[in-house]
Structure 1
Amino acid sequence: MEWDWAFVWQIMPTLLQGLKITIIASVLGAIVAAIVGLVFAILRRSPVAVVSKTTGFVVEFIRGTPLLVQLYFIFYVLPDIGIRLPALVAGVIGLGLHYGTYAAEVYRSGIENVPRGQWEAAKAANLTTRQTWIHVILPQAIPPMIPALANYLIAMFKETPLLSAITVLELMNQAKSVANSSYRYIEPMTLVGIFFLVMSLISVVFLRWLEERFARRYN
């Protein structure tokens, strides 16, 4: 089957719409993962054993089960108990929770690398717990975390085709729809690969710039 440029331009608007959904899901999923990961990391440091151990179990359980299974559970099982979510919302929550557990380990590592003396200095300065985290600990812990968090962000972007399993009309789902209706697979699937490659490269460049910016700011 020969490459058909006319067909490419015909399907491009549909694929771009799918790409927009993919980017939205990735960005919102990353925000959820960043927040959830930080919450998990802080809770795992709780002096209350029940809180820390329960959080640890939840983190390991989510990390130990496939993302696809979690997406199916959120979108298809939760409605049985009265919780119905739009497909995109369910996808964002699934991505955010799944990668939030990985982000939690990155946060934990970064926080533990902050010298103990910094905690003691904050206590000696009569800073509250909130002030200690915001003004002392996180500014020192964040820069070393960025490369690892960036890798998980890119990995999340590449996992978005799984959202097609819960009817999200992201890039891969749109490409499959076009291919199945036209019986032409080479153009839509090739374009999907190109889109993912380009977006991944742009993400790498942006995150490297962000890493350098944080390094200059806090060093």
Structure 2
Amino acid sequence: MIWDFAFTFEVIPSLLQGLLVTIQLTLIGYSIALTLGLLIAVVRRVPYVGSIVHFVMEFIRTTPLIIQLVFVFFLLPASYALPVVGPVPITAFTVGVVVLGVHYAAYTAEVYRSGIEGVAKGQWEAARALSLPTTRTWGAVVLPQAIRKVIPALGNYLISMFKDTPLLFAIGVAELLTRAQRVGSESFRMMEAITLVGLLFLLVSIPSAIVIRRLEKRYAAV
């Protein structure tokens, strides 16, 4: 099959729209993963409650992401009725971004946990000796040191999430791969569409990987 350059330039705008959706999914989902993962890491240190949270996170980590996406999407109703606002639709994008965020929160929580456990015991003892409140101990002593150490590892999960977004085709999210499949099936030219998908993923992934490698070098001695 000969490469059709005219067709390539024709479908690029549609694929770029799909890339925009993919980036939105990644950034919003990653924000959820970072925030929820930190909360989980802190809660896991609470007796009894921590054991339950650990079990739930293990279940999420050992379950395929695509299964979670399909299960949640078809389990939820099409919309929720809110007072005054009325019916609020639950879109595939919303389900996808939340499931992505929760799934990766199970991994970022472990990263945060390793960072928290890496804080020297003397730091905790010094905080207690100064009678610092718990919130002050976590916010001013523990977390600033812990998060600084795990920034490179957290960055790796950003790239992983970006590469997992094509799984959202299973619930109909019009991300990059889904748009390419639609374009290819309508025109019977899959080679150009799928090749462009690979190139666009590389266009975003490679610069991101370079930034993360620099972060690793910068914080390696921390």
Q: How does the TM-score come out when normalised to structure 1?
A: 0.92
Tell me by how many angstroms 1:147 deviates.
2.2
Q: How does 1:95-114 map to 2 (within 5 A)?
A: 95-114=100-119
Tell whether the 8 Å contact from 1:91 to 1:163 is kept in structure 2 after alignment: yes
Task: Supply the distance in 2 between the matched residues of 1:120 and 1:80 (Cα, whole angstroms).
Answer: 52
Task: Supply the distance in 2 between the matched residues of 1:4 and 1:81 (Cα, whole angstroms).
Answer: 43
Task: Supply the distance in 2 between the matched residues of 1:128 and 1:195 (Cα, whole angstroms).
Answer: 49
Task: Supply the distance in 2 between the matched residues of 1:40 and 1:76 (Cα, whole angstroms).
Answer: 26
Q: Does the alignment pair 1:117 with 2:115?
A: no
**Percent of residue pairs bearing the same amino acid type:** 50
Q: Please tell me the residue identity of whatever aligns with 2:52.
A: T
Report the equivalent of 1:78. Answer: 76
Of 192, 202, 218, the match for 2:207 = 202
Report the equivalent of 2:3. Answer: 3
Tell me by how many angstroms 1:74 deviates.
1.8
Q: How does 1:186-197 map to 2 (within 5 A)?
A: 186-197=191-202
Report the equivalent of 1:89. Answer: 94
Tell me by how many angstroms 1:77 deviates.
0.9
Q: Does the alignment pair 1:147 with 2:145?
A: no
Report the equivalent of 1:158. Answer: 163
Q: Please tell me the residue identity of whatever aligns with 1:69.
A: I
Of 127, 132, 135, the match for 2:132 = 127
Report the equivalent of 2:187. Answer: 182
User: Larger helix proportion, structure 1 or 2?
Assistant: 1
Task: Supply the distance in 1 between the matched residues of 2:18 and 2:79 (Cα, whole angstroms).
Answer: 30
Task: Supply the distance in 2 between the matched residues of 1:80 and 1:181 (Cα, whole angstroms).
Answer: 28
Q: How does 1:8-47 map to 2 (within 5 A)?
A: 8-46=8-46
Task: Supply the distance in 2 between the matched residues of 1:211 and 1:125 (Cα, whole angstroms).
Answer: 33
Tell me by how many angstroms 1:32 deviates.
0.5
Tell whether the 8 Å contact from 2:21 to 2:176 is kept in structure 1 after alignment: yes
- Would the alpha carbon gap of residues 80 and 199 (structure 1) be closer, same or farther in structure 2, given more than 3 Å must change? closer
Task: Supply the distance in 2 between the matched residues of 1:65 and 1:80 (Cα, whole angstroms).
Answer: 24
Tell me by how many angstroms 1:151 deviates.
1.7
What CA deviation, in whole Å up to 9, does each residue of 1:166-211 have, x standing for no partner?
A: 1110000000000000000111100100111121111112333445
Tell me by how many angstroms 1:20 deviates.
0.1
Aligned pairs, number? 215
Tell me by how many angstroms 1:43 deviates.
1.1
Q: Please tell me the residue identity of whatever aligns with 2:59.
A: F
Task: Supply the distance in 2 between the matched residues of 1:99 and 1:20 (Cα, whole angstroms).
Answer: 20
Tell whether the 8 Å contact from 2:177 to 2:197 is kept in structure 1 after alignment: yes
SS of corresponding position for 2:90: coil
Q: Please tell me the residue identity of whatever aligns with 2:117.
A: E
- Would the alpha carbon gap of residues 81 and 169 (structure 1) be closer, same or farther in structure 2, given more than 3 Å must change? closer
- RMSD in angstroms over aligned alpha carbons? 1.9
Report the equivalent of 1:53. Answer: 51
SS of corresponding position for 1:79: coil
Task: Supply the distance in 2 between the matched residues of 1:32 and 1:211 (Cα, whole angstroms).
Answer: 23
